[in-house]
Amino acid sequence: MEEQIAALTAELAAMKDSMAGTNRTTAETFYYLTIPLMVLIHAGFLSYEMGASRAKNALASGIKNILAFAFIIPTFYYAGWFIYWAFPTGFTMSAGPLGTSGLAYAIGAANPAGSVMGPNVADSATGVFFGAFAMFAATTASIMSGSLIERIQIVGFTILAIVLGSFVWILGAAWGWHADGWLVTQLGYHDFGASGVVHAIAGFFTLGVLINLGARVGKFNPDGTANAIAGHSMPAALVGLMLIIAGFWGFLMGCVIFPGEPWSWGSGIFATIYGTPVTLSAMTFNILMGFAGGAIAAWVMTHDPFWMMSGALGGIISVAGGLDLYWPPMAFVIAAIGGVIMPLVARYVEKMRIDDAVGAVALHGVVGIWGVIAVGIFASGYPALAAEGAPTITLYGQVIGAAVMMALGFIPGYVVSLILKKLGMLRVPKEAELLGLDKVKVPIEAYPEFFAASPAAKTPAE
Amino acid sequence: MLIGTNITDWSTVDGAYYAGAGSELIWLIVSIILCLAFLVAGARHEKAAYSKVR
């Protein structure tokens, strides 16, 4: 009898080991797969920005986009991942209530000079988490990239991308997208799908840069009216936008915490980054409703396929903050409001003589802020954390959080771009802009058979 | 020596492993310097390209 019990115990232990191994590798694979899905976002931004550029600038826009992605990876490794774990409670780098933050924790969990940030047979999580966050970081840089096309210097832009992607947004994520983040623990801030910490920060950073960068030659007439500067391939831009939306599924997949691991919030169900429950089913309802509401509202507002696809993206951004909480028809309404806001804000930005080539300030900045505030309007009262006595989600907390995201994006964007401007590293010379950036600094041509002999179209102001 | 390993049997590996002698910090510094050098090289190329246009 004792031998049988011992045999059963050994068999049970072996089964538990096997199940733990399966769960561990499934969790690892789950986050690993978010990465190629998020690479679709960058494939989309590449196509979108090149399409939105005139043919004379198509490849220069592509280079800028590729470089932002490439430089974010090492710089996020050097600094971004450490910032996320070191700064949730603020600049003091003290530990938060949960104990997964602060200087000492970050040195253990995210030291770029330590063994934790490398191959380790006992750690199947750090690398894939880092990878998913690095993709979020690259997304912030790509959000900015499209607005600045056709007149920004490549290295100046790359420096801005590094500042935004590896330093600025991740500080916002530490504050509002971490269970020890001070916005969460003190104000009940909730931003499940990063409406604020990714989109609003990137959009307002972009606004700060645009003010110093100035408009493209020919964008505005002397009387202040604006000329439309059409990109050379609207189909490429539209396909790019759809690829970004496909990639968003990976982005939002990366916003959940897999169950059943030592670092998980529990077993049996996914959790948000705050430890509150969420299911992929709930997210699916609301992502699809967000897509639909935003696209349809933008169609009614503009009848323009470019803005419809931007509206679809804006719809998802509008509901991203509360994807885990909304009732799907409610998500449709929230997304439709986002789809209405977006073109109105884009027109206002243009009226202010700011040349935002792809409308990122409206789409990501202002609609991102709408997404944060919408959580306070439509989902107040839920506990913001899983712990007992946690603060609840309130409109007040969301509005304060939105203001923090706006300031955290705008101020560094404005200051760093101003410094680059003073150093002569922000804008290309007028002669280069008129000739076309591809001819000036790219060794190959985008369309040698079609466009080599014909000059680019000019606006009346040119 | 900056590369190489003392591992000769995978069954002895139960945690982190590092294909290099000395500290990981060396490679961190080398890669940061390389990133900065790439940015400087890129800026020089851009400056030269704009000078030609002018």
Over the stretch A305-320, which tens digit does the pLDDT of each residue have?
999 999 999 999 999 9
Contacts of A227 (CB under 8 A, 6+ apart): A218, A219, A220, A221, A459, A460, A461
Q: At A404, is the secondary structure helix, strand, or coil?
A: helix
Q: Which of A76, A107, A120, A442 should one mutate to test binding to chain B, selecting the residue with the greatest count of B CBs within 10 A?
A: A120
Above 60 in pLDDT, residue A454? no
User: pLDDT band for position B46 (50/70/90)?
Assistant: very high
Interface test with B, best of A59, A121, A434, A435 (most B CBs within 10 A): A121
Give domain A20-451's CATH superfamily: Ammonium transporter AmtB like domains (1.10.3430.10)
CA-based nearest residue in chain A for residue B45: A441
Would you state the structure tokens that stand for residue A212, as one six-digit string?
A: 């110093």
Q: Do B35 and A71 touch (CB under 8 A)?
A: yes
- At residue A256, the 3 state secondary structure works out as strand
What is the residue whose two structure tokens read 């490794």? A77
* Neighbouring residues of A414: CB distance < 8 A, sequence distance ≥ 6: A208, A209, A211, A212
Burial class (CB in 10 A: 0-12, 13-18, 19+), B11: exposed
Contacts of A115 in chain B (CB under 8 A): 15-16, 18, 24
If you search the block for the tokens 């007992």, which residue do you land on?
A388
B11: contact with A, CB 8 A cutoff: no
**Region A308-335: what's the mean pLDDT?**
97
Longest dimension (CA), chain B: 64
Q: Is B3 in the A-facing interface, judged by CB distances under 8 Å?
A: no
Q: Minimal Cα–Cα distance from B49 to chain A, Å?
A: 6
CA dist., res. A207 & res. A365, Å (int): 8
Secondary structure string (H, E, C) spanning A42-90: HHHHHHHHHHHCCHHHHHHHHHHHHHHHHHHHHHHHHHHHHHHHHCCCC
- Give the C-alpha separation, A308 to A334, whole Å: 16
Whether residue A389 lies within 8 A of chain B, CB to CB, comes out as no
Residue A55 predicted with pLDDT over 90: yes
* pLDDT value of residue A455: 57
* CA nearest neighbour of A338 among A288, A397, A395, A298: A298
- Using the structure block, give the residue that is written with the tokens 């826009």: A61
B chain contacts of residue A118, beta-carbon cutoff 8 Å = 16, 18, 24
CA–CA dist A175, A183 (Å, integer): 6
Terminal-residue alpha carbon distance, chain A: 94
- Could you say which DSSP state residue A461 is in? T
Question: Rounded mean pLDDT of A266-278?
Answer: 95
| Nearest CA among A55, A44, A49, A67 for reference residue A154 | A67
Per-residue confidence at A277, pLDDT binned at 50, 70, 90?
A: very high
pLDDT in tens, B20-40: 767 889 899 999 999 999 999
CA atoms of B35 and A155, how far apart (whole Å): 12
* Closest CB to B54 among A71, A431, A441: A431
Please compute the mean of the pLDDT values over residues A386-391 and round it to a whole number. Answer: 90
Q: Which two tokens stand for residue A121?
A: 């047979």
pLDDT of residue A456: 60
Dig out the tokens for A211 from the structure: 């003010």
Structure tokens at A1: 């009898």
Q: Cβ separation of B46 and A74 shorter than 8 Å?
A: no
A257 φ, ψ (degrees, to nearest 5): -105, 125
CB contact under 8 A, B24 and A113: yes
Residue A98 tokens read as 């949960």
CB A340 within 8 A of CB A301: yes
Pairing of strands A256-257, A271-272: antiparallel
Rounded Cα distance, A357 and A365, in Å: 14
- Write out chain B residues lying below 8 Å of A126, CB-based: none
- Is the confidence at residue A204, as pLDDT, over 60? yes
Q: At A250, is the pLDDT very low, low, confident or very high (cuts 50, 70, 90)?
A: very high
Which long-range contacts does B29-33 make (Cβ < 8 Å, 24+ apart)?
A: B31/A74, B32/A74, B32/A78
Please tell me the predicted confidence (pLDDT) of residue A402.
98
Q: Return the domain boundaries, chain A.
A: 20-451
**Cβ contact, residue pair A155, B14, below 8 Å:** no
Please report, as a single letter, which amino acid is at residue A140.
Answer: T
How far off is chain B from A283, nearest CA to CA, in Å?
A: 36
Rounded mean pLDDT, A431-460: 81
Nearest by CB: B24 against A114, A121, A435 = A114
Rounded to whole angstroms, how far apart are CA atoms B54 and B52?
5
**Token couple for A139:** 């997304």
Q: Which residues of A touch B33 (CB under 8 A)?
A: none
Are the beta carbons of A120 and B54 separated by less than 8 Å? no
- The answer to whether A193 and A164 are in contact (CB under 8 A) is no
Asked if A74 lies within 8 A of B16 by C-beta distance, the reply is no
Report the chain B residue with the minimal C-alpha distance to residue A438: B49
B51 touches chain A (CB under 8 A): no
Supply the pLDDT for residue A9: 94
Q: How far is B3 from chain A (nearest CA, A)?
A: 15
Asked whether A384 and A391 are in contact (CB, 8 A), the reply is: yes
A108 touches chain B (CB under 8 A): no
A328-A315-A282 Cα angle (round to 5): 30
Interface with A, mutate which of B9, B24, B33 (most A CBs under 10 A): B24
Residue A116 forms contact with B (CB below 8 Å): yes
ipTM: 0.93
3-class secondary structure, A396? helix
**pTM for the complete prediction?**
0.94
The pLDDT, as a whole number, for residue B43 is 96
- Residue A2's pLDDT band (cuts 50, 70, 90): confident
For the segment A394-414, the average pLDDT, to the nearest whole number, is 98
Q: Which of B34, B46, B54 to mutate to test the interface with A (most CBs of A within 10 A)?
A: B46
Average pLDDT of every residue of chain A: 95
Q: Is residue A26 within 8 angstroms of chain B, CB to CB?
A: no
* Backbone dihedral angles phi then psi of residue A120, each to the nearest 5 degrees: -160, 115
Question: For residues A261 and A125, is the Cβ–Cβ distance under 8 A?
Answer: yes
What single-letter amino acid sits at A171? L
Q: What percent of chain A has pLDDT over 90?
A: 94
The confidence score (pLDDT) of residue A451 equals 62
